[in-house]
Each structure stands twice: as C-alpha cells, then as structure tokens.
Amino acid sequence: MKNIAVVGSQWGDEGKGKIVDWLSEQADVVIRFQGGHNAGHTLVIDGITYKLRLLPSGIVRKNKISIIGNGVVIDPWALLEEIKEIKSKGIEVDINNFIISESANLILPFHREMDEIREDAAGKEKIGTTRRGIGPAYEDKVGRRSIRVMDLRSEKNLDQRLESVLLHHNAIRKGLGKKIFEKEQLKKDLLKIAPEILKFSQPVWLKIDQFKRQKKRILFEGAQGILLDVDHGTYPFVTSSNTVASSAATGTGCGPNSINYVLGITKAYTTRVGEGPFPTELKNNIGELLGTRGKEFGTVTSRKRRCGWFDGVLVRQTIKISGIDGIALTKLDVLDELDEIKMCVQYDLDGKKIDYLPAAVEDQLKIKPIYKNFPGWKSSTSGIKNIQDLPENAKNYIYTLEDFIGTKISSISTSPERDDTILIENPFEI
C-alpha cells in the first residue's frame, strides 16, 4: 500500500488543492505536516467551493481521516472558525474524522502582533509575510518556550508556560516601545476554547503507526513550495518551516520509509507572492496576461502573485532536493493564447553561465535567465483529457520540459475543474 507526499516544486500556489483533492479521494488518511493558516487550498466539489487554510483537504470527503501534524503551527481561533465555516457547508468535523497532534505548537495573538511590528519596521527589507504570526510561532518552538496543544490541559501548566513565553516577548515589545502583553486575559481566552481543541488531540505518531499496520493509504499534504523552504529556499525570503518532502516524516512522527512516492506539483509557468528573487519574472503585458488568465491571487490573502516564464533550472533543483518521483503539471491552459512561450534553461551570473540557483541572495538577485523559445499553440487545451489530443506545439513544450527537469510528468491539469486532467500515471497504483 503506497503512501504519497505532495509538495510544491516552486514558490507555492502551484495548484496543489485540485491534485490533493483528487488523491484524497483514493486515500484513507490525509495529513498536513507543516506551515500554518497562511497557505490555502481551494477545492471545488459538486459546484461548492471550499477554501481550506489549516484543515487537510481530506476533510471534505466522507470516510476519510484528516490530521494536523506536529509540524504545523495552529492558530486555535482560526482553526475553530474554519471548522465552523466548513460545517456550515454540510461537512462533518468530529473526533471520528479529525485529529490534532498533541505536540503541535500554537500561534497566539502576540505572535500575530510581532509579525506585523517587524514587517512594518522593515520597510524595503520586509520579507512579505502574511502577518498571521507563523514565523514568530516557529521561533518560539525552536526557542523551547512555545505553548503546545497539550499545554491546554492544565491551568497551572498553562500559566507557567505563558509566563515563560511572555517574559521573552514583552522584553522585545518594551525595546520596541510597544505595550506589554497581559497574561491573564490570554490565559482566560485559551482555557475557554481548550475543550474544543483538546477533544481532537491525540499522539499522531501512534495513530500513523496504527494506520500503517492496517495498510491504510496515507496522503501527506504539504503547503507552500520548496523554494520557500527555510533551508533550501531563497533565504531570507522564505517561510519559517521546512517545505521539502522529508518534512512529511518529521512533521508527523514517522520514518522516511513511510513515504513511498513524492509528487511535486508544478505550474506550467512560475509565480511568486511577496518579496524576494524571481529570475524569470515578467513585468510586462505577458506577465499581466498570465496573472489574469491564471487568476493569480492568493486563496488566503487575495494578494496578487508575480508571474513569469517556467524556470526549468529551479524546478530541476527542487526535484533533486526533495526526491520528487513525478510531477503534476498544472495550469497548462493559461498559456493557450500566447504567440511564443519561453523556458529558462540556464542562468548568466556576471557573464558566467551556471545551471543552478546560487545560495547567496545577492547572486540570486543578479542572475539573468537564458531561455529556450517555443512557438505557442494558439488553441484551447481546456478540458482535454488525453495527451494525444493536445496541440503539437503543446506536446513539444511538455516533452521538452519533462526531459529538461529529468523527472516524469504523471499528470497534466487543463482547467481548474477536477476532472479536466490528463492522467499519465496514478501514484497510488504504481
């Protein structure tokens, strides 16, 4: 029985929602393993749109178990609001189909405030965070002062843990001339919602072991993209967690041998939200066209995404870093109207040709893309379900892309609709 990890191979927003939804129908268990409520997945099922932020995509399907792993940081109020919202659309969320890791760390109001304070103070040096407190919450986790789900069980313990974390945060707030954060009201607010959170709490590592012995199919659902990984992305313009496939193991409590196939979701062009290097960005009419046709606005924040040509160098690199076995190519139909299409196959750094993204941000900002040009197909690919029915120029682009990145394409998405997919290989059935 195969278990699959799904990751984004670019800067996120690759269209993971549709692919994860399709896979979750075949899975028994769906697990989120990193990130927070800054990354969203949009699902459209039977004409109903679901915008998920923390809840795994499996939650919208009956007889599936959805889990939030220890690698995720949870805003408990945002989670309860999301549960309320999805229940209003007829979806059941209860202790039989939803589990939260007792080891998951919480995002608290002072994390959100610190996120805003830092971004506002950074000026031109801002990272472009979603201001939801994800980064500061991960900092507290690594600093060993975080509040975890299990800490909500005891008022005495919660009081001690809040004392510790606020000692740190209030020192910084004082230094920045901000009002200190009061403990008592926050403790009262947390204790009020504690029963609603704790009823879902379990040792997830133990449940995964149980599911494996029961031969259940597990889908590990990643958020964002590998180029936002805190170790392997365009640092410091990255997220605060590891977005690579190996994080599926550490973010849930299982060994890497629990993951049998890594699927990289890959857009047929490139987008990025927020600040940071973007070698193939198009600040022209073509970039605007891609953004308009691709509806490139964030699910959670509605922020406009920057658009550019497909960067084969970057995707080839993320495939190696994350051990991707196959890619799901999305949004091919967005390119339908273009006269010419380009793919980055090399970089120029100060007159020297290189075939990888350098680690230093100053070099990342300097590199110039070297392109391979393709004639456009100037006809609709929307809704096509067989690769042989694609225009010849589209097939040429796809096969060249596949050959360049060195990994097989397992599926091609030809519209936002769930069934408009060319399936070449089902990861669950290999």
Write out the catalytic residue numbers. 13, 41
Q: How many residues does the structure list for the chain?
A: 430
Q: What percent of the chain is helix, strand and coil (3-state, nearest 5)?
A: 40, 20, 40
CB 18 within 8 A of CB 234: no
Q: Residue 39 and residue 128: Cα distance in Å, rounded?
A: 13
φ, ψ at 349 (rounded to 5°):
-120, 105
CB 276 within 8 A of CB 234: yes
For 123, the token pair is 């000026």
**Nearest 5°: CA angle at 86, between 81 and 91?**
140
Q: Residue 241 and residue 228: Cα distance in Å, rounded?
A: 8
CB 400 within 8 A of CB 374: yes
Rounded to whole angstroms, the maximal C-alpha distance in the chain is: 68
- Cβ density class 401-420: b for 16+ within 10 Å, e for less: bbebbebebbbbbbbbebeb
Please name the residues in contact with 46: beta carbons below 8 A apart, sequence gap of 6 or more. none
